[in-house]
Amino acid sequence: MLQQSLAPSSEANPRDRAIPQSVLDAVRTLIAWAGDDPEREGLLDTPGRVARAWKEYCAGYDEDPRKHLGRQFHELGGYDEIVILRDIPFHSHCEHHLAPITGKASIAYLPGKAVVGISKLARVLHGYARRLQIQERLTAEVAEAIWKGIEPRGVVVVIEAQHGCMTGRGVRTPGVGMTTSAVLGCFLEDAASRREVLALMGK
């Protein structure tokens, strides 16, 4: 095992000055523990890059995703059928191993008195996904935010994802997907409505 110094390099990237030294040191420690030399040329700027990347990965902690549902439209022109946004790509990280979770979500709701812009549904998803997560909680959080935020008659959220903690370590089984769903309101109470919305989602 190489003996490595964890002292900050004298040629540290100026962009790292806003990052707490403890964070930079933690990344250097992890690099050294993994078996490499944090002071070699190719890794000198890695602690800052990793710190900035994780701030971006976890940007959801800096916002309340429910705020995206604040702008609502009440002139529906008599429309009272299901609204669906299918196959929204997302990227998150598992709270157990900090490994990536990549997948897609489909979100449906049956309007009550209001609708929202479809991009807002994706923003709600991304707001919760950009936190340390488990897929089950992410699914429930998105559904609950829409349920409380716009008070529809029903909500369905289906998430399909692959988990790096399973594909890249441990059992190391790539190609395996996990599916979770959250069903609220009329879709929970009425089996026919639930079948209809899942069929429209292609599930």
Active site residues: 94-97, 135, 163, 165
Contacts of 172 (CB under 8 A, 6+ apart): 166
DSSP codes joined into one string, 3-64: ----SPPTT--GGGGGS-HHHHHHHHHHHHHHTS-TTSGGGTTHHHHHHHHHHHHTGGGGS-
Determine the Cα–Cα distance for residues 56 and 52; give it in Å rounded to an integer: 6
Q: In sequence order, what are the beta bridge partners of 104?
A: 89, 160
Q: In sequence order, what are the beta bridge partners of 106?
A: 158
Q: What angle do CA 165, 134, 64 make, to 5 degrees?
A: 135
Pairing of strands 154-163, 178-185: antiparallel
Determine the Cα–Cα distance for residues 48 and 61; give it in Å rounded to an integer: 20
- Other Cβ atoms less than 10 A from the Cβ of 78: the count is 5
